[in-house]
Chain A
Amino acid sequence: MSMALLLLLSAGMLYPDFAIAPEIILSLLVWINAWHFNVVLAQLDWRSTRLVMPFLFGVTLLVLWEGMVRGFEVSPVILPPPSAIAAKIADSLPILWIDFVTTFLQGALSGFFIGCAAAFVVAILIDRSPFLRAGLLPVGNFVAALPIVGIAPIMVMWFGFGWQSKAAVVVIMVFFPVLVNMVAGLAATDRMQRDLMATYSASYWQTLLKLRLPAAMPFLFNGLKIASTLALIGAIVAEFFGSPTRGMGFRISTEVGQLGLDMVWAEIAVAALAGSLFYGAIALIERGVTFWHPSQRT
């Protein structure tokens, strides 16, 4: 495969009329060789290959993108190459930072914390009443499956164009997944464990703090992970319905209108990075908190 491409490449140099742009062939070469390298790495299966392989895969994707865009001479109005996007990111760091603060720190993160804290407390409260639990769980499960993003225009109407409306959307979006998971988590201890606490004559709060909350943590983090991706979606969607003249959603929708696609991709890159880091941070905390859980042991 690699040899065939090499032949094509040299043929292209000898007979320019026949040539497929060398960038395309080169990027395909990189792709195929990296893939072979990954196949080898997969057989080795060292600890470090786990990080190297997806990284290599990502890099080859970028190379392929760059090569295709250059080789086929795609207009930057349709799809800018990664190098142009990187240059744009380096150019407009201050704007990106302002958008990041507005959308992520103010909108998504504050909403995430309020929503998750509220869900946590409510879960513990309704857990005391089996009646409430039986009533709220089906309702919560149903609401968690609804397209709650639709509440965004209403929140913008209530709280105005500022970050408060974005945070409000995020609060409502993250509340139900976390609530449902936390209630399920609080029910996760088995009879034997609770009986043991009873034989220790532990009070409700002691049982809660020492047994049931730790046991609920894997469930809670499951909910938090779902909520972390929802939080960014909620904050950006709310900006489509009205925002101050900053923010990722605002920037994306205005730049698309002006065909400033390199800026759009720069925002997407920031959003992707923020989303992944946020998720990664929660996964790291989870590993620290639920180190005892089978899924965390390797």
Chain B
Amino acid sequence: MKTVTPVLTVLGIIFVVWYAATIWLNAQWVYDQAERAGTTVSFAEMVPQTMDQERPLLPPPHQVAGELWDGVAGQAVTSKRSLVYHGFKTLQATLLGFGMGIVLGVGLAVAIVYSRTMEKSVMPWAIISQTIPIVALAPMIIVLSDKAGIDGKMIPKAIIAAYLSFFPVLVGMIKGLRSPDAMQLDLLSTYNASGAQNFWKLRLPASMPYFFASLKVAIAAALVGAIVGELPSGATEGLGARMLVGSQFGRPLDMWAALFGAAILAGALILIVGALERFAKRQMGGAA
């Protein structure tokens, strides 16, 4: 309850500002139309006309919600106009890239924790890789995978998603694998535990909280990667392609619906990872 009221208040303020901005931004169009028709509109007449334009500068929330609802529920799932269809295409690439990112991130983290040489020579490059704007590389990856004979638009998108999502996992896992303290490591050596036992029974379980915390960042990053990957490829499927098409054909409502579709997808994915985290915690005997 303590946070619900303030959050609702803030959301309420955002809605009020949004509606005000809608009227302010879209008014010009109404006035222009009236001028062309040789009539004048009063303020009271103008306001409702800003609310349901076909190409608004800023659609009001209910118009976006309507468009979103139409895109999700108003179309057959397999239709090219369905947001579910496009969202699913983006989701596929996101999850594939997310999986690749996890494997790469965890693998590198293990190598770095166990090898000084890896740490010293690879870690700086892992950091630099994230300062390189992936969007510059994205068209390149698409061309390369096309030439390499990889069919479909999925793989390049997934690679870009993986590129963005491996880093949080890497950083989190390095921290996590190093989190057991000297006492715990000493205990295992008094048990005469082997290196593998050390890893499976202590380091890996100890890293789980860090792992899941970084997964939440990584899944959001993977979604951004998948959407960005759709932009320069001329993809016709996916939420990013939807935005691109909406922008090229001057259909702002399509862009807004795709944007909010992507936002809802991101929220849902983060919630799912959070639920997985609680499940894993319970399975490992922690306080849920």
Seen from chain A, the residues whose Cβ lies within 8 Å of a Cβ on chain B are 35, 38-39, 41-43, 45, 49-50, 53-54, 56-58, 77-79, 131-136, 138-139, 142, 145-147, 149-154, 156-158, 228-229, 232-233, 236-237, 240-242, 248-249, 252-253, 256, 261, 264-265, 267-268, 271-272, 275-276, 278-279
Q: Collect the chain B residues with CB atoms within 8 Å of residue A54's CB.
A: 120-125
Q: Collect the chain B residues with CB atoms within 8 Å of residue A77's CB.
A: 147
Q: Could you say which of A135, A229, A253, A272 has the most chain B C-beta atoms within 10 Å of its C-beta?
A: A135
Is B263 in contact with A228, judged by CB distance below 8 angstroms?
no
Known: A38-B121, A147-B266, A276-B131. A154 touches B232 (CB 8 A): no
**Residue B227, interface by CB 8 Å:** yes
Q: Collect the chain A residues with CB atoms within 8 Å of residue B243's CB.
A: 150, 152-153
A79, A233, A253: which contacts B228 (Cβ < 8 A)? A233
**Residue B231, interface by CB 8 Å:** yes
Is B136 in contact with A278, judged by CB distance below 8 angstroms?
no
- Convert B215-250 into 0s and 1s, putting 1 for each residue whose CB lies closer than 8 angstroms to a CB of A: 011001001100110011000000110011011000
Q: Tell me the smallest distance from the CB of A257 to a CB of chain B, in Å.
A: 9
Q: Collect the chain B residues with CB atoms within 8 Å of residue A268's CB.
A: 132, 136-137, 140
Q: For the complex, give the distance between the alpha carbons of A265 and B223 in Å.
A: 25
**Residue B76, interface by CB 8 Å:** no
**Residue B190, interface by CB 8 Å:** no
Is B259 in contact with A151, judged by CB distance below 8 angstroms?
yes
Q: Collect the chain B residues with CB atoms within 8 Å of residue A136's CB.
A: 6, 10
Q: Tell me the smallest distance from the CB of B91 to a CB of chain A, in Å.
A: 12
Known: A42-B116, A138-B7, A256-B139. 6 other contacts (CB 8 A): A38-B121, A53-B120, A54-B122, A146-B266, A229-B130, A236-B135
Q: Could you write out 29 A-B pairs with CB less than 8 Å apart?
A: A39-B117, A43-B116, A45-B116, A57-B125, A133-B6, A135-B7, A145-B267, A146-B220, A147-B266, A150-B227, A150-B258, A153-B244, A153-B247, A154-B259, A157-B247, A157-B255, A158-B57, A233-B133, A241-B231, A241-B244, A249-B135, A249-B136, A252-B232, A256-B139, A261-B143, A268-B136, A272-B128, A272-B136, A278-B131
Q: For the complex, give the distance between the alpha carbons of A202 and B264 in Å.
A: 46
Q: For the complex, give the distance between the alpha carbons of A183 and B202 in Å.
A: 35
Is A252 in contact with B128, judged by CB distance below 8 angstroms?
no
Closest to B269 in A: A145
Give the interface residue-count category, chain B.
35 or more
Q: Collect the chain A residues with CB atoms within 8 Å of residue B9's CB.
A: 131, 135
Q: Collect the chain B residues with CB atoms within 8 Å of residue A35's CB.
A: 117
Q: Collect the chain B residues with CB atoms within 8 Å of residue A272's CB.
A: 128, 131-133, 136
- Convert B6-37 into 0s and 1s, putting 1 for each residue whose CB lies closer than 8 angstroms to a CB of A: 11111100100000000000000000000000
Closest to A138 in B: B7
Q: Collect the chain B residues with CB atoms within 8 Å of residue A150's CB.
A: 227, 239-240, 243, 255, 258-259, 262-263
Q: Tell me the smallest distance from the CB of A173 to a CB of chain B, in Å.
A: 10
Is B255 in contact with A154, judged by CB distance below 8 angstroms?
yes
- Convert B132-165 into 0s and 1s, putting 1 for each residue whose CB lies closer than 8 angstroms to a CB of A: 1111110110111001100000000000000000
